[in-house]
Amino acid sequence: MRARKARRHVAAAVVGIGLGVVAAGSPALAAGRAFELVTPVGSDPDVRLGGGAATPDGDIVCFNTERAIAGSTPNGLVTADDGFCSRRTPSGWTTTWVTGPTPVEPLGGRGGQVYFVSPDGSRVVFASDLGIYPDYRGAEPGQGTASGTLSAFMWDGGASPRWLAPTANPLPERRSPVEPAVSLEREAVAVSRDLSHGIFVSSLGLVPQDTNDTLDVYEWTPEGIRLVSRDQAGDAVGGFPALGTDAEQTLAEPGSVSADGSRIFFEHTGSSLAGSPAGVKSVFLREGDDLTLVSPRRGPGPAMDVTFAGATEDGSTVYLTTEEQLTNDAKRAGAALYSYDVASDQLTLLATDDSDTGVYFLGSSADGSTVVYRSGLAQLFVLRDGQARSLGNLDFTDTVPLLDSGASSRSDKRAMRISADGSVIVFASTAALDDSPGGVRQIFRWTPAEGLRRISRDAADTPPVTAAGFGNYSTVLPGFTRQSTLNTMRFRPNLGRGMSDDGSRVFFETADPLVDSDINGFIDVYEWHNGTVSLVSPGTQRADAFYHDNSADGTTVFFTTEAQIIPESDRNTSRDLYAAREGGGFALPEPAPRCEGDVCQGSVTAPPVSTLPSSSTFEGPGDTTDPAPLVPRHTVARLTAAQRGVFARRGRTVLRVRANEKGIVTATVTARIGRRTVVVARSMRVARSGSTASLPLTLSRRARTVLRTKRRLRLVISVSYSESETTIRQVVVLRG
């Protein structure tokens, strides 16, 4: 009771009634912020980690939930989320369901999740597999998406969402079966700033000119869809946006679509296109009807694959990585980093390295003045105004794609932010940088004038005990605090601005108490500003607080927590979304009127007369043996020797999983390829109660290549079940 009263006093102090400053004696919150409950009052949302974004002004924020709120349709599946956006009004936050309406009987098991929001909040691009419109593979009328694959949609305030990746109705007859290794999903992988343009990938013939049965890049426009990966005659030639090297990455590299949507970059392998050499991967720019080869070969060769690494915001400068010598400038044996200026047709060698891994591009400023890259697995570099500066040696875990890694090669899991003018770089690292002890992930900030500084520290510079996190992300790795195995956004980007646009404010989370008022022992959200660290979350709540996003100027910060920070409005213990806002706060609900004396008693009435026969015994909970609750379980049939043989020869097999309750079963197959453990296959199906689900597994092209060359591939198959925390693993060795 005492703790509850304490929480109420904190709420009253920092929420207030439109207060612009924090009352004396309240926690040391950054910049005098007040708390506001964003999710609907009285709802039970369970906001997911790792999804949704806020508009630059901080007046609109989007998020995903498992449970039905704001008029959404309950779907009964813990992995089938729905997306919402909340708008701030003078009296509070109002929430809109933006990923619906959906069918009463949804077909997919992943639901609808918000991916992108326009700066003014008028448009939201989301993905859904729930069957909003009739789709591929013979859907019966009213049944929706028979394939159950994710497709891109847009909410723009209308009664129904707009389908951004529609199929022809009916689809033209296929000339050959779709290659099993090719995903049929059509998620949005890159967008223009206002979301009016964006790209997705499909192997379906969505326009008459696409008859090649391979992956092609499509663009949506206000007028409809058009084919991006096409030749001068307008016919599909096959292509793909740069999605990095990780099999689970579903977001194109930064700059794949310019901010105004006029320029789209993609990769193509195979036939000679726009002067590219045949048989190797090249990078192209689609600008209206014009096609430009932006990876010209002007060196001694031989021709090798060139990969799109990124581009500036306006698409004027393209960054490329390759082991080929593209210019006459000498390069080392490993992959090198080049830049290509579209206007001047100038190709420049930026960095080269002779390690096995070569140079990894990590990001650039919007204006192209600053480039960040790592050399092999060793050093982190900043290239600014033509001068390369080393920021120090990295830790091995900094480069692991699945972790919250500042130097990861996977763009949508990279905990790094660069200001538009390149004057501020913020990233997470476990390395011993700036005299930090290393071994514990911390947050670092670099400027040209101040150099590199660790900012996730207290005033006494106490050595860190727990890791500091940066960005809005989730992970499927066991043992991580942000683990969210039921979160369908877990393979989406490491979202959240992480800092103000000018880099003067940085937001991160840690369980270490960096100020005296952090007394709860849980993870809290912090702000660094002008050398001072202060709390964003209360520091007194009895649950973790996770960063979600912030406004462009950093005056509003969003975070999620299961704690009832404003118990007058937040009446549940599921995860809600809160705003900590400068000059914010709303009036608390009026308390129920108190009664005194006889007015509390009410009128006296006679007791009811029972019409039931009396009994000498009482039967109820605890008086008889209640049946034990059903414990959700799943079992996985082991692959037989014959199945392993077919798997090795054809790269395909079917895994049988039985569950005793309805839920989602997911199979993830990993293999050690080179120095990395990568996902080489994945499948997800809805399991009915007491039934067996068949999960088709198809090895990635890369895994099949390794199996052919090495004649052996060791796989780890992990099967999770949405209703259980148990993951079943089996090791399978394929022999070629």
Average pLDDT, the chain: 83
Determine the pLDDT at residue 486.
Answer: 56
170 confidence band (pLDDT: 50, 70, 90): low
| pLDDT recorded at residue 34 | 94
Q: What percent of the chain has pLDDT over 90?
A: 53
Q: Does 261 score more than 90 pLDDT?
A: yes
User: What is the number of other CB atoms lying within 10 angstroms of the CB of residue 595?
Assistant: 10
Phi, psi of 653 (to 5 degrees): -160, 175
On the question of pLDDT at 480 being above 80, the answer is: no
Residue 729 binned pLDDT confidence (cut-offs 50, 70, 90): confident
Q: In the predicted model, what is the mean pLDDT of residues 1-6?
A: 35
Mean pLDDT for the stretch of residues 204-216: 88
Residue 493: pLDDT band with limits 50, 70, 90: low
Domain locations along the chain = 175-351, 403-564, 634-735
Range with lowest mean pLDDT among 32-41, 562-571, 600-609: 600-609
Q: What is the pLDDT of residue 83?
A: 92
Q: How far apart are CA 505 and CA 524, in angstroms?
A: 16
Give pLDDT, residue 697: 92
Report pLDDT digits (tens) over 58-94: 999 999 998 889 988 776 666 678 899 999 999 999 9
Q: Which residues contact 540 (CB under 8 A, 6 or more apart)?
A: 6, 7, 10, 27, 517, 519, 520
The pLDDT value recorded for residue 99 is 92
Structure tokens at 657: 């999983």
The mean pLDDT value for 502-526 works out to 95
pLDDT of residue 348: 97
Q: Are strands 416-418 and 387-393 parallel, antiparallel or unpaired?
A: unpaired
Q: Is 687 or 616 the better-scoring residue by pLDDT?
A: 687
According to the model, what pLDDT value does residue 98 have?
95
> Any idea which fold 634-735 has?
Immunoglobulin-like (2.60.40)
At 608 the pLDDT is 41
Q: Confidence class of residue 172 from pLDDT cuts 50, 70 and 90?
A: low
Element (H, E) at 57: none
pLDDT (tens digit, 9 = 90+) per residue, 513-522? 999 999 999 9
Residue 45: pLDDT over 60: yes
Band the pLDDT of 604: cuts 50, 70, 90. very low
Q: Is there a contact between 630 and 661 (Cβ–Cβ < 8 Å)?
A: yes
Torsion of CA 104, 110, 114, 116, to 10 degrees: -130
Mean pLDDT of 642-648: 91
Q: Which helix (H) or strand (E) holds 299?
A: none
Count of beta carbons in the 10 Å neighbourhood of residue 260: 14
Report in angstroms the alpha-carbon separations of 598 from 394, 593, 602, 605, 655: 73, 15, 8, 15, 70
- DSSP strands (E only) in 288-415: 290-293, 306-311, 317-322, 336-341, 346-351, 359-364, 370-375, 379-384, 387-393
Report the range out of 108-117, 315-324, 660-669 with the highest average pLDDT.
Answer: 315-324
Query: What is the C-alpha separation between 218 and 229, in angstroms, rounded?
Result: 7
More confident residue, 241 or 598: 241
pLDDT of residue 554: 97
pLDDT in the model for residue 702: 84
132-139: which pairs have CB atoms within 8 A and are 24 or more residues apart?
A: 132/101, 132/102, 132/103, 132/160, 132/161, 132/163, 133/163, 133/166, 134/169, 135/167, 136/167, 136/171, 136/184, 136/204
491 band by pLDDT with thresholds 50, 70 and 90? low
Rounded to an integer, the average pLDDT of 363-377 is 93
Residue 182's CB: how many other CB atoms inside 10 A? 16
Q: Look at 47 and 475; give whichever has higher pLDDT.
A: 47
**Choice among 59-63, 100-104, 107-111, 467-471 with the minimum mean pLDDT:** 107-111
Distance between CA 570 and CA 533 in Å, rounded?
A: 28
State the pLDDT at residue 14.
Answer: 38
Burial 341-377 (b: 16+ CB within 10 A, else e): ebeeeebebbbbbeeebbbbbbbbbbebbbbbbbbbb
What gap in Å lies between CA 205 and CA 226, rounded to an integer? 11
pLDDT at 622 over 80: no
507 vs 735 pLDDT, higher one: 507
**Cβ atoms within 10 Å, residue 217:** 28
Mean pLDDT of all residues in 661-675:
83
Closest listed residue to residue 532, CA positions, set 502, 501, 506: 506
Least confident of 108-117, 133-142, 303-312, 354-363: 133-142
Q: What is the pLDDT of residue 168?
A: 73
Q: What value does the mean pLDDT take over residues 597-601?
A: 47
pLDDT digits (tens, 9 = 90+) for 389-420: 999 999 988 888 777 788 887 777 789 999 99
Retrieve residue 440's tokens. 């514990």
Exposed, middle or buried by CB within 10 Å (0-12, 13-18, 19+), for 92? middle
For 121-135, 305-319, 348-362, which range has the lowest pLDDT when averaged over its residues? 121-135
Q: Is there a contact between 220 and 195 (Cβ–Cβ < 8 Å)?
A: no
| Percent of the chain topping pLDDT 70 | 82
Residue 127, amino acid: A
| Rounded distance between C-alpha atoms, residue 564 and residue 541, angstroms | 8
Q: Which residue has the higher pLDDT, 125 or 409?
A: 125
pLDDT 10s digits, 6-37: 333 333 333 332 222 333 223 335 557 999 99
